[in-house]
Structure 1
Amino acid sequence: MNSSVLRKRFCLLSLCTLLASLLLLTIYELRPLNRTSYRNSLYRQMLASTSFSDYTNKLFQYEITQDSITTAYHLRHPKRYGIPSLPATLSSFSANEYKQQNINNNSTSIDALFDKLTTFSPQSATTSEQINYSLLANHLSLSSSLSKYPYYEYLLGSSTGVQTNLPVTLCEYPLPDSSAVETYLQLLEQIPNYFQEIIAYDKQRSAQGLTAPAFLTAASKEQLATFLSSLRQDKNCFTETFHERLMQLDHISASTRSRYEARNQSAIKNSILPAYETLYCYLTQDTGNLSSTDSSGSDTSQTNNLIESSTPYGLSTFPSGKEYYSLLVQQSTGSNRPVSELISMTDTALQNALGTVLNIALTDQTAYLYYCDHPLETYYESPEAILEALSLMIRKDYPVLSDSPHYTVKQVPDSLAASLSPAFYMIPAIDDYNNNTIYVNPLYTNEENGNLFTTLAHEGFPGHLYQTVYFNATNPSPIRQILDYPGYVEGWATYVEMNIFPYLDYPLEGDSLCKLYQSDTIINLALCSRIDLGVNYEGWTLDDTRHFFEEQGFQDYYAENVYSYVVEAPSNYLSYFIGYLEIEDLKTAYRNLKMEKYSDQNFHKQLLDLGPANFETIRKHILSD
Structure 2
Amino acid sequence: MKKRKTRVILLLMVLTLGLTSCGRPSETDYQQKFAEFEETFFKEKVSDSFLDLHYALKDSEKYGIENVPEDFGQYSEEGMKEKIRYLKEKKEELSQFPFEKLNEEQQVTAHILENMIEVECNSEGLELYKEPLSEAVGIQAELPVLLAEYEFYSREDVEGYLNLLGSIDEYYVQILEFERDKADAGLFMSDMAADSVIQSCKSYMDENGSSFLLESFKNRLEQVPGLTEEEKQNLVSRNETIIKEDFLNAYQTLSDGLEKLKGSGQNVNGGCGWEKGQEYYEYLIESEIAPSYPDIGSLLEALEKMVTSKMNEMNEMVDENPKLMDEWDSAEIQYENPVEILQQLQNEIMADFPKLENMDYEIKYVPEELEDVQPLAFYVSPQIDSYHDNVIYINRKYEGNGNLYITLAHEGLPGHMYQTTYFLRNNESDLRKILDYTGYTEGWATYVEHLAYQFDNGLEPAVGKIMADNSIANLGVGAILDIKVNYYGMDREEAVDYFSDYLDAGAVNQMFDYVCKNPAVYLPYVVGYMEIEEMREEAEAKLGENFDAKKFHKFILDMGPAPFSIIREEFAQWVSD
The two structures have a TM-score, normalised by structure 2, of: 0.90
Q: How far apart, in 2, do the equivalents of 1:109 and 1:117 lie?
A: 12
- 1:261-285 deviation per Cα after TM superposition (whole angstroms, max 9, x unaligned): 1111101111111111111111222
Aligned residue identity for 1:607: I
5+ residue gaps, structure 1, are 1-48, 102-106, 291-306
Aligned residue identity for 1:78: S
On the 8 A contact 1:506/1:513 being kept in 2, the answer is no
Q: How far apart, in 1, do the equivalents of 2:533 and 2:391 lie?
A: 28
On the 8 A contact 1:332/1:571 being kept in 2, the answer is no
Look up the SS of the partner of 1:551 in the other structure: coil
Cα offset, 1:96, TM superposition: 5.6
Q: How far apart, in 1, do the equivalents of 2:123 and 2:395 lie?
A: 33
Aligned pairs for 1:76-91 (under 5 A) are 76-91=58-73
On the 8 A contact 1:312/1:540 being kept in 2, the answer is no
On the 8 A contact 2:60/2:66 being kept in 1, the answer is yes
Which residue is 1:12 aligned to?
Answer: none
Q: Structure 1 pair 96/496, CA: closer, same or farther in 2 (3 Å)? A: farther
Tell me which of 388, 391, 396 is aligned to 1:434. 388
Find out whether 1:145 has 2:122 as its counterpart.
Answer: yes
Tell me which of 446, 466, 480 is aligned to 1:530. 480
Aligned pairs for 1:132-531 (under 5 A) are 132-228=109-205, 231-233=206-208, 236-287=211-262, 313-337=269-293, 338-371=295-328, 373-374=329-330, 376-401=331-356, 403-446=357-400, 449=402, 451-506=403-458, 508=460, 511-531=461-481
- 1:113-134 deviation per Cα after TM superposition (whole angstroms, max 9, x unaligned): 1121111111111100101111
Q: Structure 1 pair 95/175, CA: closer, same or farther in 2 (3 Å)? A: farther
- 1:498-552 deviation per Cα after TM superposition (whole angstroms, max 9, x unaligned): 01111144465xx321122112211221121111111111112222222233133
Q: How far apart, in 2, do the equivalents of 1:80 and 1:333 lie?
A: 33
Q: How far apart, in 2, do the equivalents of 1:316 and 1:287 lie?
A: 20
On the 8 A contact 2:382/2:389 being kept in 1, the answer is yes
Look up the SS of the partner of 2:506 in the other structure: coil
5+ residue gaps, structure 2, are 1-30
On the 8 A contact 1:423/1:459 being kept in 2, the answer is yes
Aligned residue identity for 1:461: L
- 1:461-483 deviation per Cα after TM superposition (whole angstroms, max 9, x unaligned): 10111111111111421110232
Cα offset, 1:162, TM superposition: 1.2
RMSD of aligned C-alpha atoms?
2.1
Tell me which of 512, 530, 539 is aligned to 1:563. 512
Q: Structure 1 pair 474/546, CA: closer, same or farther in 2 (3 Å)? A: same
The two structures have a TM-score, normalised by structure 1, of: 0.83
Aligned residue identity for 1:381: E
Look up the SS of the partner of 1:425 in the other structure: strand
Instruction: Find runs of 4+ consecutive structure 1 residues off by over 4 angstroms.
Output: 95-98
Which residue is 2:15 aligned to?
Answer: none
Aligned residue identity for 2:373: S
Q: How far apart, in 2, do the equivalents of 1:524 and 1:486 lie?
A: 19
Which residue is 1:59 aligned to?
Answer: 41
Name the % identity.
28
Aligned pairs for 1:104-115 (under 5 A) are 108-115=85-92
Tell me which of 554, 567, 570 is aligned to 1:618. 567
- 1:169-197 deviation per Cα after TM superposition (whole angstroms, max 9, x unaligned): 11111211111110111111111111100
Aligned residue identity for 1:480: R
Q: How far apart, in 2, do the equivalents of 1:244 and 1:364 lie?
A: 54
Cα offset, 1:388, TM superposition: 1.1
- 1:565-598 deviation per Cα after TM superposition (whole angstroms, max 9, x unaligned): 2122211211110000000111122223322211
Find out whether 1:548 has 2:495 as its counterpart.
Answer: no
Cα offset, 1:399, TM superposition: 0.8
On the 8 A contact 2:77/2:178 being kept in 1, the answer is no
Cα offset, 1:87, TM superposition: 3.0
- 1:333-391 deviation per Cα after TM superposition (whole angstroms, max 9, x unaligned): 221421111111111111122222222222212221121x33x5222231111011111
Cα offset, 1:164, TM superposition: 0.7
Q: How far apart, in 1, do the equivalents of 2:364 and 2:75 lie?
A: 31
Which residue is 1:75 aligned to?
Answer: 57
Cα offset, 1:203, TM superposition: 0.3
Which residue is 1:589 aligned to?
Answer: 538
Which residue is 1:10 aligned to?
Answer: none
Q: Structure 1 pair 147/383, CA: closer, same or farther in 2 (3 Å)? A: farther
Look up the SS of the partner of 2:364 in the other structure: strand
Aligned residue identity for 1:224: C
Q: Structure 1 pair 443/546, CA: closer, same or farther in 2 (3 Å)? A: farther
- 1:303-353 deviation per Cα after TM superposition (whole angstroms, max 9, x unaligned): xxxx99xx7521111122112211211222221421111111111111122
Q: How far apart, in 1, do the equivalents of 2:150 and 2:557 lie?
A: 28
Aligned residue identity for 2:43: Q
Aligned residue identity for 1:523: A
On the 8 A contact 2:292/2:568 being kept in 1, the answer is no
